Amino acid sequence: MLTLDRFKLYAHIDHADEDELIESLIRAADTAVRDMTGKEPPSDSDELFDTAVLQLTAHWYENRTPVTDTSVTQVPFTVQTLLNHIALSGRYPEKEGANGADQ
């Protein structure tokens, strides 16, 4: 799973003021990538899967205010491309219960 330190390096965050929020967003983004693709990462550290989680976390972190001048309802194109690739790739095992068993 993506680590707090890796996200903070990516997002250029050098304080601990929002660590709890960021860790929550990382967990939520990891769950969302698994749910949206129906896939699991093939190993503990998969760069493509981690990048999807990283970028989705960054999107949510940067757009966490309910009021903004820009539309934040859509997932950025780069994240959607990663999600589509993971969902369609045979390299990623199916998420347990992905066939609706966990719903």
Query: pLDDT confidence of 102, banded at 50, 70, 90?
Result: very low
| Rounded Cα gap, residues 80 and 85, in angstroms | 9
The DSSP secondary structure of 21-82, one letter per residue, reads HHHHHHHHHHHHHHHHH-B--SSS--HHHHHHHHHHHHHHHHT-SS--SS--SSPPHHHHHH
Query: Is pLDDT of 103 > 70?
Result: no
Instruction: Give 61-90 pLDDT, tens digit per residue.
Output: 998 876 656 655 577 899 999 999 999 999
Q: Which of 17-21, 38-42, 89-93, 96-100 has the lowest mean pLDDT?
A: 96-100
